[in-house]
Structure 1
């Protein structure tokens, strides 16, 4: 069931959008957007907060608190309902198309009568948009790409949402009398970057109590629906449109069923082929001797995954590797990697505070990192070229001084002062070399000019790698899952530059980004690149993000040694100090004059 925080945040975001659409004050709209972000990232559930507790959330003033309280009491926000009535049907639906803002959506409705994404696709395909005011040369192409992303996102769910639902279901069903085992399977267990639906597996002698408990969950009763219900499989759809399938199997078939329903399909086909060649038969019920008939067939293995794999002559293969991308061959040759895990991470090298666009204070973020038993943490608030963050030299230096004052307060956790620089169109970054010298670490990321040419994007990224102060390239492709595609660049050339200059590549663990993806991680790793798995957290809740980044790293076969924030401090320090700094180019390479 979605947290009340997430429901309220979505409504406040909608309110901000509608304010913009109806010509409302832009500052007021931004205030509601900021409040929505703060509420979504707040650790405590809104359901348990009184008025004073609401007002203590950063960015939540009297007006926002009143609307939150109104929603808690009535299930609606009258001001939002009134704004909805002012917008032509379908216009806000079009604002969900990546790259199409509220004003352009309203222009399309007024000028062309377009009210649905389907009508928008027809108009774009017919070339009817580029002559409208504010619509440029590649308008149709960009909108069609955005419509494709919207369709994909409507069919897929991000990992944070999927894990929240799966964890809730597994925890509830595990308590049902007679349940011997319960776990999620499918693409979620393999850490695919998004999932289409959820597969939940349970083991019990009798399925009835589990099925009854499943359909009685709040996920179903609070706006969800039962699609189909039976003794071995029940499917439901949550209020947010996510389908969840529960299968109940006998306890002695648990391992075979978990293996089968985890997939992938290609991995399972390879295993079944191996079984056939060995005179066996593999299914979700177990591994059987194929020479026996159905009535007397002999089950060789089924109770655990390890047992089934062993009977096929294989070691257990971690779920993120099960994609038929060489894992079978590696297992046969005893070459399976020791995959990086969340427990291997010694620190987080990219996070934000309320000095820029974070919603938690420096002290709150550090305390949460300390609770995670980190050895070091880098605070990397935005640099001044991201104008909306209003960063100044004075603010950054004051934060540095505060970090020095806090040294020792969080045990032996080392506090690093960093920044997230903006990679400009020419590859330059925000501060000149003499100011950058004062940072312990610099992440550099693209935040603008996403539509530049392939050659231009490649040049700007390589120049950033060559900057002697840039340690990590953040969210390389700039994608936002379901909202924005990645930039067009020669990424293999960028990987070569990272390897040559000793610049790490970030695996941005925000579940809305997961940038870079597992396939690009593998290519970069083969090119000799090191990685940093970072939360890019803007709240204390988001400091849990690394689990999603680690999942992508595992899918890419990464070991701890490939990830710089698994290293002990002295080794990381040598990497950040850039002993080969002179080999990275001159001090002016990539630095922009102030």
Structure 2
């Protein structure tokens, strides 16, 4: 289930949005936004903290701490309920539309009386927005795109939310007497970026104790259906979970079948038919006699079909069957392969933890190297300056070597401006160990302009990595319109790596783009983009996405030893 910190973060962010709609003080709005990020990134469970301990979280003052404590105690906050009551539910729904935002939602409600998504779509089609300042044809197009994005996301959960829930369930069921095996399956096992329903599979001779324990889990809000082989529940957060219990002897076939994908399973069943066999969730059978041939492990099932075991993230019918037949499946990158993290933030800019805290957390994760890459000055809200960045560099150099085996790199996340320029001149940038460059604004530029913009940044001799390359936020902001093939070709030619940003709401590049970029010979960096110590665990999601993109450790620069990585980073500037 979602961490209490995540719930409180969402609540405080909602309050900030509500304040913005009602014309609240801008400083107060920013305070709640900052507090939301701080609570979300805090390492301790805020539901266990008192007001005094909550106040110790950076960015959380007395008033906010009391609201958090009130929510933990009662399940609601009076001030937030009052703010909600002032604004129709439909207007609050408008805030959720990607590309719209609270200020534009307020204008739509106050000037046109629009209080629902349907009313907004109708108003756009009837051109009623044309008279409003800031609502031209391009804005209308972006809003409609945002509505489609929101509707497409529907009730799907982000990968981290679904995975945390699945792991909690499998851990609980594994403790039930008689449970021999338990694992999650479905699209979650394949590391899809969003999940509709969570599939859990268990092996036991008697399913009754498992079904009873499943129905009794504390977060079950509704039992949708319950039977001997399958039970479906809905959690208090609205996510459906299906539990299937099979005999141990059927485990392998069932796990293969319920992992999917549908397209992959169609291919394996076709192979079975051509071999005179029948493949189902119960096993691999002789089609003529009905005799069970294999079913206990996935490896046995694939082997009997003449294939090596295929890793779940590859099972999308994107060439994995053919590669398996040729013994050409990639040895996929794993989380254990990662030696370092090349994109992280501290409280010098928009992180919520100090440099010392982030470095200590990186050391505890066993990293060999770790880059601090706070924002550069063109993001004015971060108030960065040359002096602040140089002072941080001295701090980084002083901390380097204090934690055994961990080497520190001083870097920055540059802003790719509307014309492709970056924050600092080349002579200043050469003082950094690593430079990540990302698009943080002007997301709606046309395709040609955006392509030229990225290409100029890629050509910059001091830019080593393009961060979150498409700028998308899953379910909230669409990817930029850019000629990715031109970007991939330029990265391969200049030796500029592309980031796989592991934040669960980004996962950018996505798996399909990774597959395309790999064909150009691009190198990648799987980074956390951590803004708190908690976020340093995000690369597990980036690795899953990289696996779906068929990447090996060789493709990922932060799996390399530091000496090789440093040579790669130096080569970019030397060859330009």
TM-score, normalised to structure 2, is 0.98
Does residue 1:452 correspond to 2:433, yes or no? no
> What corresponds to 1:178 in structure 2?
178
**Structure 2 counterpart SS, 1:38:** helix
> What corresponds to 2:14 in structure 1?
14
> What corresponds to 1:589 in structure 2?
none
Q: Superposed, which structure 2 residues align to 1:52-63 within 5 Å?
A: 52-63=52-63
Which of 503, 508, 520 matches 1:510?
A: 503
**Structure 2 counterpart SS, 1:419:** strand
Residue by residue over 1:10-39, the C-alpha shift from the partner in whole angstroms, topping out at 9 and shown as x without a partner, is 211111111111111111111011111111
Does residue 1:370 correspond to 2:363, yes or no? yes
CA distance in 2, matches of 1:290, 1:473: 53
CA distance in 1, matches of 2:375, 2:453: 19
Native 8 Å contact 1:18 1:84 kept in 2: yes
CA distance in 2, matches of 1:469, 1:581: 6
Native 8 Å contact 2:22 2:106 kept in 1: no
CA distance in 2, matches of 1:83, 1:194: 31
CA distance in 1, matches of 2:440, 2:82: 35
Deviation at 1:126, TM superposition (A): 2.6
> What corresponds to 1:218 in structure 2?
218
> What corresponds to 1:590 in structure 2?
none
CA distance in 2, matches of 1:396, 1:582: 24
TM-score, normalised to structure 1, is 0.95
> What corresponds to 2:333 in structure 1?
340
- Number of paired residues? 576
> What corresponds to 1:89 in structure 2?
89
> What corresponds to 1:162 in structure 2?
162
Native 8 Å contact 2:51 2:62 kept in 1: no
> What corresponds to 2:414 in structure 1?
421
CA distance in 1, matches of 2:573, 2:389: 24
* Structure 1: 5+ residue stretches without partners: 585-594
> What corresponds to 1:591 in structure 2?
none
Residue by residue over 1:425-475, the C-alpha shift from the partner in whole angstroms, topping out at 9 and shown as x without a partner, is 111000111111110000000001111111111111111011010000001
Deviation at 1:127, TM superposition (A): 2.4
Native 8 Å contact 1:444 1:464 kept in 2: yes
> What corresponds to 2:246 in structure 1?
249
CA distance in 1, matches of 2:139, 2:539: 36
Does residue 1:301 correspond to 2:301, yes or no? no
> What corresponds to 2:66 in structure 1?
66
Deviation at 1:413, TM superposition (A): 1.1
> What corresponds to 1:581 in structure 2?
573
CA distance in 1, matches of 2:563, 2:401: 18
Q: Superposed, which structure 2 residues align to 1:136-147 within 5 Å?
A: 136-147=136-147
CA distance in 2, matches of 1:419, 1:97: 31
RMSD of aligned C-alpha atoms?
Answer: 1.1
Does residue 1:282 correspond to 2:279, yes or no? yes
Which of 557, 565, 573 matches 1:572?
A: 565
**Structure 2 counterpart SS, 1:505:** strand
Q: Which moved more, 1:391-400 or 1:67-76?
A: 67-76
Deviation at 1:481, TM superposition (A): 0.1
CA distance in 2, matches of 1:185, 1:439: 43
Residue by residue over 1:240-277, the C-alpha shift from the partner in whole angstroms, topping out at 9 and shown as x without a partner, is 22111111111110100000000000110110000001
CA distance in 1, matches of 2:504, 2:56: 27
CA distance in 2, matches of 1:139, 1:262: 41
> What corresponds to 2:512 in structure 1?
519
CA distance in 2, matches of 1:89, 1:545: 33
Native 8 Å contact 1:129 1:139 kept in 2: no
Does residue 1:150 correspond to 2:150, yes or no? yes
